[in-house]
Amino acid sequence: MTKRLDGKVAWVTGAGSGIGEAAAVALAAAGATVVLTGRTAAKLEAVAAQIGTAAHVEAADMADAAAVARVAEAIQARFGRCDILVNNAGLNIVERAWTKLSPEGVRELVEGNLMSAFHAAIAVLPMMRAQGDGVMIHTASMAGRNVSPMSGPGYTAAKHAVVAMSHSINVEECANGIRSTAMCPGEVRTPILDKRPNKLSEQELGEMVQPQDCGELVLFLATRPAHVCINEVWITPTRNRGYLAQVARKL
């Protein structure tokens, strides 16, 4: 049986859709108060409407360090604590191959995937240190562990860095009761797929991990006992298109 999160405060970034939305819904259903952050207030309000009074909208661009700090200050002022950070904001671009990649595209990927994650972690750490407790769950990617043309070099490099960032938090902050998890999904049916150069069929989309699967995993990670740290976890489709492609080449 999943532990309840009554009295806990969770900050979910990239909460307007996909994994972030599913995570916020799952955490709130377990009793947590959830703070929803993302760039588009209307999307956040729609998620908040699903959840009810346990949801609080704090719109911000996670690539903007000052804006992120203001959200953390608002959480501190309103609730006096932050127990769970779901560091989920991220993006990809269409022009991702080296033959098409531009410095501007790389900057967008680094700011949207890596700097955004650092901004949230830096902003929330003082509250967690003061509590002597806290859980961070960073949405990395299988692209943070494997190199593939599918994700593109910029996204792959940024997500590798997110994985390293998460592990470094455990090295420095474990004495403060803080646990950090790098969550590495394979293909998940989220709006980021709209940025794929090649569109996928409904069958292919249906065979992927669904956002709710990741939401349930986030809830599991957030409810482990304080003496347990899940350092890294992969969640992938059973019918893994990357594996199938490898087998096909060998055969």
- Domains parsed from the chain with CATH numbers: 9-250 (3.40.50.720)
Determine the Cα–Cα distance for residues 207 and 219; give it in Å rounded to an integer. 22
Active-site residues, by number, are: 155
Determine the Cα–Cα distance for residues 109 and 77; give it in Å rounded to an integer. 32
- Angle made by CA atoms 7, 10, 14, in degrees to the nearest 5: 160
pLDDT in tens, the chain (251 residues): 457 999 999 999 999 999 999 999 999 999 999 999 999 999 999 999 999 999 999 999 999 999 999 999 999 999 999 999 999 999 999 999 999 999 999 999 999 999 999 999 999 999 999 999 999 999 999 999 999 888 999 999 999 999 999 999 999 999 999 999 999 999 988 776 665 556 777 887 788 999 999 999 999 999 999 999 999 999 999 988 777 777 877 65
Q: Containing H/E element for 112?
A: none
DSSP state of 209: B
Tell me the Cα Rg of the chain.
18
